[in-house]
């Protein structure tokens, strides 16, 4: 059963761990909704569907043709993401009356973990960094890309609709874009008076924009300076579905952990480790698409 981090936080009795999870999901639209499958071992091997089976009409007495789907076996290996947070014992003893220094330092480390995950979720490439996992840009199949043009072009609602139509088996669960692309979409909707762009609160009480009923997530690690043809100011918008059978996170039983390492030998400080064995799997390539060459 897949479980989101927000749901996992409700099951934890560790106050520090709950605070870390809340910090991690607060500014990440992906981690707020991405479900995670807990696995045993250091990775998951699964069959990704390539072609669907076919059906036909037959006369009585016809010979029936057999048709089965084809699959590609894919392995997603768990990766180690995390960091250490050291708190000076003197500062902790003398300044905790003003602020819980340890909690503040661990919170900042949790924020760094969230930012690294969001970056890797989009840009991860095991060919250049084998310690990370493959992100959306690497997982997106060639036939699932829509282009704004040879040298890119300004975003249009028609192209955005074409992107969403690339995702099969239902509407995308999210459009993931840079802040610049989100602003451009807002401008387009305002100029056309289409009424397709709405704003509402999500389950965390945050204001979220929706295009045609699909939430728009902002990712600060989607570059606005990609090169497409002769243009060097291009960005990408992703459309994807979450869940088993689509895009899902992988982790070990217990998921994200906060480990108190304790006192250090070489300095008067105590260490807390935020640790996450994590990866990303895409069970069906038709659940992810991207629009490339998006210019301002």
- CB-based burial label for 80 (10 Å; 0-12, 13-18, 19+): exposed
Which architecture, in CATH terms, is 5-50+72-134+245-282? 2-Layer Sandwich (3.30)
pLDDT of 164 strictly over 80: yes
Q: Per-residue pLDDT tens for 42-91?
A: 999 998 877 778 999 999 999 999 988 888 899 999 999 999 999 888 88
Q: How many CA atoms lie less than 13 Å away from 27 in the CB half-sphere?
A: 16
Question: pLDDT tens digit string along 83-107?
Answer: 999 988 888 777 766 557 778 888 8
- pLDDT per residue as tens digits for the range 221-256: 999 999 999 999 999 999 999 999 999 999 998 888
User: Highest mean pLDDT: which of 15-19, 143-147, 196-200?
Assistant: 143-147
Q: At how many degrees (to 10) do helices 157-165 and 179-192 cross?
A: 120
Identify which has the larger pLDDT, 91 or 37: 37
**Lookup: tokens for 150:** 């040879």
Ranges 141-145, 196-200, 239-243, most confident: 239-243
What's residue 286's pLDDT?
A: 93
Spell out the domain ranges in the chain: 5-50+72-134+245-282, 136-241+289-295
Query: How many angstroms separate the CA atoms of 30 and 3, rounded?
Result: 13
- The domain made up of 136-241+289-295 is a member of CATH 3.30.1930: yes
């Amino acid at each position: 059963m897949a479980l989101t981090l927000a749901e996992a936080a409700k099951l934890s009795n560790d106050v520090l761990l709950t605070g870390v999870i809340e910090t991690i999901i607060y500014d990440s639209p992906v981690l707020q909704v991405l479900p995670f499958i807990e696995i045993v071992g250091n990775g998951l091997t699964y069959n990704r569907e390539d072609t669907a089976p076919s059906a036909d009409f037959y006369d009585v007495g016809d010979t029936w043709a057999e048709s089965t789907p084809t699959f590609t076996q894919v392995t997603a290996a768990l990766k180690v993401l995390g960091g250490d947070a050291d708190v000076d014992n003197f500062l902790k003893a003398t300044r905790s009356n003003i602020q819980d220094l340890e909690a503040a330092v661990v919170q900042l480390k949790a924020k760094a973990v969230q930012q690294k995950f969001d970056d890797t979720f989009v840009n991860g490439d095991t060919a250049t960094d084998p310690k990370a996992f493959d992100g959306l840009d690497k997982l997106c199949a060639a036939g699932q890309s829509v282009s704004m043009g040879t040298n890119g072009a300004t975003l249009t609602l028609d192209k955005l609709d074409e992107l969403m139509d690339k995702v099969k088996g239902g509407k995308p669960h999210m459009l993931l874009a840079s802040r610049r692309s989100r602003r451009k979409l807002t401008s387009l909707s305002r100029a056309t008076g289409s009424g397709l762009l709405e704003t509402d609160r999500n389950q965390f009480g945050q204001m979220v924009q929706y295009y045609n009923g699909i939430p728009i997530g902002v990712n600060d690690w989607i570059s606005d300076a990609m090169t497409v043809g002769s243009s060097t100011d291009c960005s990408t918008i992703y459309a994807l579905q979450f869940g088993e059978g689509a895009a899902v996170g992988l982790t070990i039983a217990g998921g994200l952990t906060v480990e108190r390492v304790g006192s250090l030998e070489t300095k008067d400080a105590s260490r807390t480790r935020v640790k996450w064995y994590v990866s990303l799997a895409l069970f069906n390539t038709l659940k992810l698409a991207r629009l490339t060459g998006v210019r301002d």
